[in-house]
C-alpha cells in the first residue's frame, strides 16, 4: 500500500463541509535561531487534480528534489501563497503570534478567499487574530493584511498524508531556504547557506565567536560570546 500523500482527506473535508475553497497550510522555520518563520498556503477545490508525482513533506525531500518540485506545484495549485514573519517580529510578539501574522500575510495574497483551513499539527494558531494587526484602540492597523477568520481543522502529520499540505510545506521551505541563502551573503560566517539558520554546530560556534546579528531571534537560546551561556529562552523544534 502506498504511503504517498493524496488529496483524499482534502476532498472528503470539502464534501462534508460543503465549501468551495480549502486552504492547506504548513509552516517552516519554527525552530530556527535566525531568519523568519514562513507560512505556505495552497488552495484546493473538488476540481483540483492530483498533485504532481513526488510531492512529500518537505523534510523528506532533498533540496534538489524540492527545487525541482516547487515550480510544478506552483503551476498545479489553483492558488498558493508564501509569507514570512521576521525575526524582530518573533521577538516582539512571540512565535505563535508571528506565525499567525505570516499566515494572514499569505491569506491576503490568495486569488480566492478560503472558506475553511486544513492546518498541519494539533494546535490552531491560524484563527486567533494577531495583536500585531491591531492598534491601541483595537482597530486593524493594516487593513490590507486582514482576512476574515475562517474555521480551521487541525490534523497531526497532515504533511505526511495530505498532498495539499505537503505542497504548502515544499513551497514554504524552498522560499525560506532561498531567502536564507541570500541572507548568508549579507551576514557571512554563520553558515546559513547550509544550515538555514538552525542550530547546527557551525552556527552555534559562530555565535559564540561573533555574537548575533540583526537577523537572529534575540529571545531564543543564543550563545553569548562573553559568557558562553545562552541568552533568552530555549529554541523551539519543528
Instruction: Express each pLDDT in 208-227 by its tens digit.
Output: 999 999 999 999 878 766 55
Mean pLDDT of 194-201: 96
Cβ contact 146:140 at 8 Å:
yes
Determine the Cα–Cα distance for residues 211 and 204; give it in Å rounded to an integer. Answer: 9
Strand order in the sheet with 152-155: 79-85, 37-44, 22-28, 116-120, 152-155
- Residue 222's pLDDT is 82
Cα–Cα distance, 103 to 40 (Å, whole number): 8
- Share the mean pLDDT of the chain: 88
In tens, the pLDDT along 92-128 reads: 999 999 999 999 999 999 999 999 999 999 999 998 6
**Average pLDDT estimate for 9-21:** 97
For residue 220, what pLDDT is reported?
82
The predicted pLDDT at position 4 comes to 87
Listed residue (155, 34, 170, 168) closest to 106, CA to CA: 168
- Residue 164 · residue 10 · CB < 8 Å: yes
Q: How far from 205 is each of 11, 35, 218, CA to CA, in Å?
A: 47, 17, 16
**Phi, psi of 178, rounded to the nearest 5 degrees:** -60, -40
The mean pLDDT of 185-211, rounded to a whole number, is 95
pLDDT tens track for 16-51: 999 999 999 999 999 999 999 999 999 999 999 999
> For the chain, what is the radius of gyration of the CA atoms?
18
pLDDT digits (tens, 9 = 90+) for 53-64: 999 888 888 999
User: Cβ distance 88 to 19 under 8 Å?
Assistant: no
Do residues 43 and 61 lie in contact, with contact meaning Cβ atoms separated by under 8 Å?
Answer: no
Question: Distance (Å, rounded) from C-alpha 80 to C-alpha 64?
Answer: 21
Among 168, 176, 167, 173, CA closest to 4:
167
Q: What is the pTM of this model?
A: 0.87
Contact 118, 164 (CB under 8 A): yes
Amino acid at each position: 500500500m502506498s504511503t504517498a500523500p493524496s488529496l483524499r482527506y482534502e476532498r472528503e473535508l470539502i464534501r462534508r463541509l460543503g465549501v468551495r475553497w480549502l486552504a492547506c497550510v504548513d509552516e517552516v522555520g519554527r525552530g530556527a535561531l535566525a531568519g523568519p518563520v514562513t507560512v505556505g498556503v495552497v488552495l484546493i477545490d473538488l476540481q483540483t487534480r492530483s498533485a504532481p508525482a513526488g510531492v512529500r513533506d518537505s523534510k523528506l525531500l532533498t533540496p534538489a528534489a524540492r527545487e525541482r518540485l516547487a515550480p510544478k506545484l506552483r503551476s498545479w495549485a489553483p492558488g498558493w501563497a508564501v509569507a514570512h514573519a521576521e525575526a524582530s517580529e518573533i521577538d516582539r510578539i512571540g512565535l505563535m503570534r508571528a506565525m499567525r501574522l505570516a499566515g494572514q500575510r499569505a491569506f491576503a495574497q490568495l486569488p480566492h478567499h478560503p472558506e475553511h483551513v486544513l492546518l498541519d499539527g494539533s494546535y490552531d494558531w491560524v484563527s486567533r487574530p494577531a495583536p500585531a494587526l491591531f492598534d491601541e484602540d483595537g482597530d486593524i492597523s493594516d487593513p490590507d493584511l486582514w482576512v476574515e477568520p475562517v474555521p480551521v481543522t487541525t490534523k497531526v502529520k497532515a504533511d505526511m498524508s495530505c498532498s495539499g499540505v505537503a505542497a504548502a510545506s515544499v513551497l514554504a521551505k524552498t522560499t525560506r531556504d532561498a531567502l536564507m541563502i541570500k541572507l548568508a551573503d549579507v551576514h557571512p560566517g554563520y553558515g546559513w547557506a547550509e544550515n538555514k539558520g538552525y542550530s547546527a554546530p557551525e552556527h552555534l560556534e559562530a555565535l559564540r565567536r561573533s555574537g548575533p546579528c540583526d537577523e537572529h531571534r534575540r529571545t531564543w537560546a543564543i550563545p553569548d560570546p562573553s559568557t558562553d551561556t545562552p541568552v533568552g529562552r530555549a529554541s523551539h523544534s519543528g
